[in-house]
């Protein structure tokens, strides 16, 4: 069946994944903006998407561009005093563990965050991650592996597997 | 992530055992879940932005009525579809994506007026719908018939034969029947006011009990 689903079905099916990707790439605070910009841009170009396209990969590609825009405009907003958010984050009050996780994510380079988000969170193969990031497949794999290694080394809950408690 | 019972086995029951491994960061990142309320707020933001940018090709919502949940869908020209549950709302939305535009978004605000008028109708407080209608889902003779239906007054009925005569094609009784059966705007465009010459109900897209409910409502008011 290559009829196109109503856009609402796309939102329903992928909103959680897009939100996870946005949180990793731009951080919890700006994730709402990135999510909203992503789905608005997706709605705009949806009629042109081939009916057999991989919708999730398409959305992640859009989220990647929108996340960059959001980060840029945040930098332009300059002084922290100006950063009075006009809405609360969708995270609500994060639990202590979550906060530690997001703090750990923040220490990654932007390339590492993107590679981790697109491969480990969205589940895209490295070849597709490379297309989005604009480098080689190996570079994408390395960035994701470095990012995950760093997260495992600094996230306190991640001692796991044989580690001491 | 310290767990109280992680250092020794709990003899029985459903408590966690210490051989359960901590989830890896990859699992944690891939399983964070945004609450329904937060997603709903983001969805409303998307609806507003889509309307502002002119991207809301088909907006829809559902309303609860005595004849079940009704799907309401509108284009920027007006109400384009009303559908009973028995028609399968998901299937109807797929049809709208196909025939009008895949930019189909749940956006109740676009349908506030229609929803209010339908509420008033079922409360017996409204005898005439005052809504812009988009007939683009029907064409030709069917559309001619459907446009005529709104002229049948509240609380009155016409026979399929009457309608055929009024639209200038007295022999087209069966075609009138199929025009009624394919009415994209039931309730609002009152195909329920068309019955058989002998006074029996005939057919109805929402089922005969829905047709009877509407006619009873109108005769009681």
For residue A49, the domain's CATH number is: 1.20.140
Domains of chain B by start residue, with CATH:
35-136 (3.30.160.70), 138-221 (1.10.10.10)
Contact (CB<8Å) B104/A6: yes
Distance, CA of A129 to CA of A122 (rounded, Å): 10
Give the tens place of pLDDT for each residue, B153-204.
Answer: 999 999 999 999 999 999 999 999 999 999 999 999 999 999 998 888 888 9
pLDDT band at B123 (very low <50, low <70, confident <90, very high): very high
Nearest-by-Cβ selection for A15 from B39, B58, B104: B39
Please, are residues B91 and A6 in contact by the beta-carbon 8 Å criterion? no
Q: Closest Cα to residue B135, out of B75, B90, B85?
A: B75
Q: Read off the pLDDT of residues B9-35 as tens digits, 9 standing for 90 and up.
A: 334 444 444 455 667 888 888 888 888
Cα nearest neighbour of B37 on chain A: A90
Is residue A164 one of the residues assigned to a domain? no
Residues of A in contact with B102 (CB under 8 A): 4-7, 46-47
The total number of structural domains that make up chain A: 1
Higher pLDDT, B116 or B22: B116
Mean pLDDT of B124-152: 96
Residue A40 forms part of a structural domain: yes
Q: Quick check: is A2 in a domain?
A: no
Nearest-Cα distance to chain B for A69, in Å, is 17
Q: What is the pLDDT of residue B92?
A: 98
Beta strands, E only, B76-214: 78-83, 104-106, 158-159, 194-195
Contact B24 A152 (CB under 8 A): yes
């Amino acid at each position: 069946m290559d009829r196109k689903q109503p856009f609402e079905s796309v939102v329903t099916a992928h909103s959680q994944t897009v939100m996870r990707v946005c949180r990793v790439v731009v951080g919890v605070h700006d994730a709402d903006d990135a999510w909203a910009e992503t789905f608005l841009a997706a709605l705009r170009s949806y009629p042109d998407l081939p009916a057999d396209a991989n919708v999730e990969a398409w959305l992640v590609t859009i989220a990647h561009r929108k996340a960059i825009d959001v980060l840029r405009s945040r930098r332009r907003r300059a002084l922290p005093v100006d950063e009075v958010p006009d809405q609360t984050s969708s995270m609500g009050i994060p639990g202590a563990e979550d906060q530690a996780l997001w703090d750990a994510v923040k220490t990654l380079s932007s390339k590492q965050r993107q590679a981790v988000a697109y491969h480990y969170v969205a589940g895209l193969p490295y070849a597709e991650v490379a297309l989005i990031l604009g480098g080689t497949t190996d570079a994408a794999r390395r960035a994701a592996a470095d990012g995950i290694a760093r997260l495992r080394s600094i996230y306190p809950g991640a001692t796991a597997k044989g580690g001491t408690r | 992530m310290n767990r109280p019972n992680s250092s020794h086995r709990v003899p029985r029951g459903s408590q966690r055992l210490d051989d359960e491994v901590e989830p890896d960061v990859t699992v944690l990142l891939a399983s964070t879940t945004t609450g329904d309320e937060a997603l709903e707020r983001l969805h409303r933001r998307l609806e507003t932005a889509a309307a502002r940018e002119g991207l809301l090709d088909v907006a829809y919502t559902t309303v609860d009525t005595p004849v079940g949940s009704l799907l309401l869908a509108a284009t920027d020209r007006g109400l384009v579809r009303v559908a009973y549950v028995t028609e399968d709302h998901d299937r109807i939305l797929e049809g709208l994506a196909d025939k009008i535009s895949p930019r189909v978004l749940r956006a109740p605000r676009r349908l506030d007026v229609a929803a209010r008028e339908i509420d008033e109708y079922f409360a017996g407080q409204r005898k005439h719908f005052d809504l812009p209608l988009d007939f683009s889902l029907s064409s030709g003779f069917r559309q001619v018939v459907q446009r005529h239906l709104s002229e049948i007054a509240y609380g009155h009925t016409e026979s399929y034969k009457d309608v055929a005569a009024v639209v200038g094609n007295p022999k087209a009784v069966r075609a009138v029947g199929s025009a009624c059966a394919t009415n994209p705007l039931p309730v609002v465009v009152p195909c329920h006011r068309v019955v058989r010459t002998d006074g029996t109900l005939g057919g109805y897209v929402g089922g005969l009990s829905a047709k009877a409910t509407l006619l009873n409502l109108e005769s009681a008011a």
